[in-house]
Structure 1
């Protein structure tokens, strides 16, 4: 298995909602930058897991788990944010099932 994608994990712990401006103040903080293997989840498997077809679901495999609490991740410095759906830690590696972040600021 090749770990050929750069995975960046971000925390939003310092961001606070401002009711006056209806926006979040503060910025996200990079907490980890690791190499990983990324594959798409097929339509058949998505239906088995979620009961319907969900777009933008990926499996991210890492050598070691990320110990810090993270809010979202990016893959290869692309602007799409992915949020965790589930994770498994078998004997080797770590598998994280992530979905595209839709509608969050």
Structure 2
């Protein structure tokens, strides 16, 4: 299996008002970067896991454990945001099932 795509994990910090500077502070920040194997989640597997098919779901396989706290991830050369739907802990590495952020699970 090739780990040929760079994955960027991001965290959304809640914006809070700072009365000293009269502005809201807090933003999105990069938490971690990993190389991964990314494939589309197949029709049969989606129906087995979620009971329905939705476009934009992917399986991401990682060698290292993903960060504990992250809000969304982005794939290399892709401007879509993906959120966690499910995770698996196979015998080797880690696997995440993610869906497009705009898609309602």
Please give the range of the TM-score, normalised by the shorter of the 2 chains.
0.7 to 0.9
Cα displacement (A) at 1:91: 2.2
Q: Deviations over 1:7-66 (max 9, x none)?
A: 000001x23378xxxxx9632110101100000011121112111111111000000112
Aligned to 2:100: 100
Q: Counterparts of 1:83 and 1:7 in 2: how far apart (Å)? A: 12
- Which portions of structure 1, spanning 4 or more consecutive aligned residues, are displaced by more than 3 angstroms? none
CA contact (8 A) 1:59 1:98 kept: yes
Cα RMSD (Å): 2.2
TM-score (norm 1): 0.83
CA contact (8 A) 2:31 2:67 kept: no
Unaligned segments of structure 2, at least 5 residues = 18-23
Aligned to 2:61: 61
> Residues 48 and 103 from structure 1, CA distance in 2 versus in 1: closer, same or farther, beyond 3 angstroms?
closer
Structure possessing the higher radius of gyration over alpha carbons: 2
How many equivalent pairs are there? 98
Q: Deviations over 1:65-85 (max 9, x none)?
A: 123300000011411000001
Tell me whether 1:80 sits opposite 2:80 in the alignment. Answer: yes
> Residues 32 and 51 from structure 1, CA distance in 2 versus in 1: closer, same or farther, beyond 3 angstroms?
same
Q: What pairs up with 1:1-105 in 2 under 5 angstroms?
A: 1-12=1-12, 14-16=13-15, 26-102=26-102
CA contact (8 A) 2:32 2:67 kept: no
TM-score (norm 2): 0.83
